[in-house]
Amino acid sequence: MYKFDTLDRSQTNSAKWEGPRHKVGRDDYLVFSVADSDYETAPEIKKALKERVDHGAFGYTLAGDGYIEAVQTWMENRHHVSVKKPWIVPAPKVLTSMSMMIEAFTGADDKIAIQTPVYHVFFDVVKLSGRKLVENPLDDENGYAMDYAHLERCFQDGVKMLFLCSPHNPVGRVWKKEELQKLVELCKAYDVYLVSDEIHADLILPGHTFVSAGTFFEDYENILVVNAPSKTFNIAGLHAANVVVSTPALRRTLKATMRKFFIGTPNALALTACQTAYEQCDAWVDAQNEHIRANYELTKSFFEENVPEAKVSDLQGTYLLWIDLRAFNVKGKDIYEGLMAHGIVVGEGKRYGVQCDGFIRVNLACSKAQLLEGLRRMDTYFETLRT
């Protein structure tokens, strides 16, 4: 019913496709790096945007009742979190919201923890704020898990805020309720703000269940959840996100900080796209998740059969596949550049953590045809490492 083909984005100044052009040195390159999908957004969103554009007036626009209700209903139905309307604070971007949280709830000398490997911009958000970055590396003994003992030592050492990535980019984990509960208890014991970035929350592979940190709002008052339709619906260029804060005092402080920097709601078109996504696109999201699952199965089998040296992570959520290539004993930079010379751009492992040299992150949200061509080129490159 729905099609998930790769769109030609060459005329759109796509950051994902145009960004690497100067580095690659050939025109037929394929990009599997930046986390946006190559799919056309849901037809319902395209239609709503066309109608909104046809209206012709694009003045200052409120996040109206319909918008807030759509976010509330989506969270209730898809994330199983019961949210009251005033808890929802619309914002233009997830990263902007996280910067505002740092500004609102931490002081200049405070420490903020992240769990590596993690979305590389988390490093920047903390460092650019001037706060001290503390790393709690994920434990990768038997699949990735949170290292609570080390995290507790970080908390004892004065961490004030933790950025949780849920589901976790780049390792693809969908955190289980028990894992989150333990984390919440630890944050509560040490009075640490728990900021849960749930931008990938709708990209859950069949067989896994997403649990929002918002499930624990009643257990701990210092939880802030931020989610967005941007990854799920390929509308990151429109800028829409929503922060969910159940504690009135936190909400007041966050809103005051946003006001200080004149951070408003998503723009007029973003509001239309987000509301439509959450009101009308359940079936489209399920179909997309099925397509991503099929791409994952294809990639996993491909690596099992052709690249036995590689360790492919168990993809539970997101469309970002984390692959360990350390068995080749080649520097990560050489792998990254070698793949590029074969016309493939991937995410280089060490961007996500110093311990990740020799890993790559591969975005699977593309057509099957593009994926197959990418895998064929990878295979040709990996063969050169064996000789």
Give the separation between CA 165 and CA 145, rounded to whole angstroms: 12
Q: Around Cβ 145, how many Cβ atoms within 10 Å?
A: 15
Cβ 255 to ligand PLP, closest distance in Å?
18
Question: Per residue, what are the HEC states of the chain?
Answer: CCCCCCCCCCCCCCHHHHCCHHHHCCCCCEECCCCCCCCCCCHHHHHHHHHHHHHCCCCCCCCCHHHHHHHHHHHHHHHCCCCCHHHEEEECCHHHHHHHHHHHHCCCCCEEEECCCCCCHHHHHHHHCCCEEEECCCECECECECCHHHHHHHHHCCEEEEEEECCCCCCCCCCCHHHHHHHHHHHHHCCCEEEEECCCCCCECCCCCCCCHHHHCCCCCCEEEEECCCCCCCCHHHCCEEEEECCHHHHHHHHHHHHHCCCCCCCHHHHHHHHHHHHHCHHHHHHHHHHHHHHHHHHHHHHHHHCCCCEECCCCECCEEEEECHHHCCCHHHHHHHHHHCCEECEEHHHHCHHHCCEEEEECCCCHHHHHHHHHHHHHHHHHHHC
Instruction: Give 235 or 307: the residue with its C-beta nearer to ligand PLP.
Output: 235
Cβ 231 to ligand PLP, closest distance in Å?
7
Cβ 162 to ligand PLP, closest distance in Å?
14
Q: Which residues pair with 161 in a beta bridge?
A: 112, 193
Total interface residues for ligand PLP by CB under 6 A: 13
Instruction: Give 94 or 180: the residue with its C-beta nearer to ligand PLP.
Output: 94
Residue 366 as a binder of ligand PLP (CB under 6 A): the answer is no
Cβ 41 to ligand PLP, closest distance in Å?
15
Residues 75-114, interacting with ligand PLP (CB under 6 A): 93-95
Residues 225-264, interacting with ligand PLP (CB under 6 A): 228, 230, 236, 241
Residues 130-189, interacting with ligand PLP (CB under 6 A): 165, 169
Cβ 228 to ligand PLP, closest distance in Å?
5
Instruction: Give 35 or 375: the residue with its C-beta nearer to ligand PLP.
Output: 35
Cβ 95 to ligand PLP, closest distance in Å?
3
The one among 4, 87, 119, 296 contacting ligand PLP by CB under 6 A: 119
Q: Is the Cβ–Cβ distance between 240 and 263 less than 8 Å?
A: no
Instruction: Give 199 or 360: the residue with its C-beta nearer to ligand PLP.
Output: 199
Cβ 333 to ligand PLP, closest distance in Å?
22
Instruction: Give 94 or 243: the residue with its C-beta nearer to ligand PLP.
Output: 94
Residue 199 as a binder of ligand PLP (CB under 6 A): the answer is yes
Instruction: Give 106 or 230: the residue with its C-beta nearer to ligand PLP.
Output: 230
Cβ 310 to ligand PLP, closest distance in Å?
23
The one among 38, 110, 197, 348 contacting ligand PLP by CB under 6 A: 197
Residue 382 as a binder of ligand PLP (CB under 6 A): the answer is no
Residue 35 as a binder of ligand PLP (CB under 6 A): the answer is yes
Tracing tokens 């995290």 back to the chain, one arrives at: 151
Residues 314-343, interacting with ligand PLP (CB under 6 A): none
Cβ 188 to ligand PLP, closest distance in Å?
24
Instruction: Give 228 or 378: the residue with its C-beta nearer to ligand PLP.
Output: 228
Of residues 71, 95, 66, 92, the one with CA closest to residue 81: 71
The site for ligand PLP (CB under 6 A) is made up of 35, 93-95, 119, 165, 169, 197, 199, 228, 230, 236, 241
